[in-house]
Amino acid sequence: MTPLLTIVVLVLVAIAIWQMTKIFELSQIRASNSQVASETDNKYNGYLMFAFLIFLYGITIFSFWKYSKVLLPEAASEHGGGYDSLMALSFVIIFIVQTLTQFLLHYFAYKYRGDRERKALFYADNDRLEFIWTIIPVIVLAGLILWGLYAWTNIMDINDEDDPLTIELYAQQFNWTARYAGNDNVLGDANVRMIDIDNANILGLDNADPNAADDIIVKELHLPVGRKVNFKMRSQDVLHSAYMPHFRAQMNCVPGMITQFSFTPTITTAEMRQNPDVVDKVKRVNGIRAEKAAKGMDNTDPWEFDYILLCNKICGKSHYNMQMKIIVETEEEYNAWIASQQTFGKSMASVQ
Ligand SMILES: [Cu+2]
């Protein structure tokens, strides 16, 4: 009922505005009703162009001031720094180019506004000018693309050098499961057809594969700082995307195939919680939560920063809630944690 009433009210308001503009138009009839723009019209539009330029600059400055703080904190992975530099350089170039071109566009529209006395200059072409405005974008874009390709090849070079940890990230509607490869650092074979919920084989591991017995299945990702991790992604049902924003990492999870991504975490969770940007963000979020708590609203527990694995593909109705906590810790803390986890072999034995 309420939506219908709202629509009726909106339609009535629209009709009222339309009628009022008609009355306004009728009251504005002047002696000369020429369709040709007058000097006043031209001047008015020239100034409006200038006003729009000021509006553009104003909103740019406002956005920097208001939204810079929602950006991610410093990258917590080895490759993240290079990735951020590339991003920052692209932003700087776009910013300079847009500031200049917007100025030129609007200034000239104002300067050469309609004037009956002025005649347009016939200027056929200028090779040198055309050369300059072609070669500068060519060099800048080629530079960006080459640097981008170089960064991409570096990031996507997934190999077994430096003794990487092998971890599987398993996506399904709507949660993540992680599987550590265990002492042998080799993941056991798995297939969605071998999933046996009754026997707690939630990832479909192959019981007959000796590599599977020492695999460790967990719901929280622990990573030792400074050790390279090779992630192998699988999906059970639809397209998902493993997104770890603080590590500048993202990879699609595709049913029927294994995709991979590799990175080395460089900052522990405890260290990241001390980062000034993170401290500031936590303070702001908890301020909002405290306000909500005062009004008696839900979900107002104070928040503590944690790294996070998110799904970055709209994979269904609970997509927004598909996440897993990531804890980056020292080698000793990691070893103690992994030692306290049960292996797949043991959990199978306890079920049967
Ligand atoms: Cu998903």
Q: Per residue in 295-304, pLDDT tens?
A: 888 878 889 9
CA 301 to ligand 1 center in whole angstroms: 26
Name the band, by pLDDT with cuts 50, 70 and 90, for residue 258. very high
CA 106 to ligand 1 center in whole angstroms: 45
Polymer length in residues for the chain: 352
CB contact set of 242 (below 8 Å; sequence gap of 6+): 169, 171, 176, 231, 233, 249, 250, 251, 252, 253, 261, 309, 311, 312
* Angstrom distance (rounded) from CA 87 to CA 47: 36
CA 338 to ligand 1 center in whole angstroms: 26
Please say if the pLDDT value at position 228 is more than 90: yes
* Angstrom distance (rounded) from CA 341 to CA 338: 5
* Angstrom distance (rounded) from CA 222 to CA 330: 10
Please say if the pLDDT value at position 213 is more than 80: no
Sort residue 235 into left (φ over 0), alpha (ψ -120 to 50) or beta.
beta
Q: Is 245 helix (H, G, I), strand (E, B) or coil?
A: helix
Please say if the pLDDT value at position 351 is more than 70: no
Rounded to the nearest angstrom, the gap between the alpha carbon of residue 18 and the centroid of all alpha carbons in its chain is: 42
CA 176 to ligand 1 center in whole angstroms: 9
Arithmetic mean of pLDDT over the chain: 89
* Angstrom distance (rounded) from CA 51 to CA 44: 10
Q: Is 239 exposed, middle or buried (0-12, 13-18, 19+ CB in 10 A)?
A: middle
Q: Which residue has the higher pLDDT, 1 or 5?
A: 5
* Angstrom distance (rounded) from CA 314 to CA 216: 28
CA 343 to ligand 1 center in whole angstroms: 26
- Residue 97 tokens read as 């180019």
**What is the reported pLDDT for 29?**
65
CA 295 to ligand 1 center in whole angstroms: 33
CA 101 to ligand 1 center in whole angstroms: 41
CA 24 to ligand 1 center in whole angstroms: 54
CA 244 to ligand 1 center in whole angstroms: 13
- Residue 190, strand partner residues: 205
Closest among 324, 309, 145 to 218, alpha carbons compared: 324
Closest among 256, 220, 259, 264 to 238, alpha carbons compared: 256
CA 9 to ligand 1 center in whole angstroms: 40
Q: What percent of the chain has pLDDT over 90?
A: 59
**What is the reported pLDDT for 57?**
92
pLDDT mean over 203-218: 80
Residue carrying structure tokens 């077994």: 160
Closest among 64, 73, 143 to 99, alpha carbons compared: 64
CA 168 to ligand 1 center in whole angstroms: 16
CA 252 to ligand 1 center in whole angstroms: 10
CA 175 to ligand 1 center in whole angstroms: 7
CA 237 to ligand 1 center in whole angstroms: 9
CA 253 to ligand 1 center in whole angstroms: 9
- Distances from the Cα of 278 to the Cαs of 87, 208, 302, 312, in angstroms? 20, 46, 14, 22
What are the phi and psi torsion angles at 229 (to 5°)? -120, 130
CA 352 to ligand 1 center in whole angstroms: 32
- Residue 340 tokens read as 């306290």
Strand order across the 216-218 sheet: 216-218, 175-180, 165-172, 229-235, 259-263
pLDDT mean over 85-106: 92
- Distances from the Cα of 242 to the Cαs of 56, 84, 120, 233, 310, in angstroms? 36, 19, 58, 8, 6
Name the band, by pLDDT with cuts 50, 70 and 90, for residue 30. low
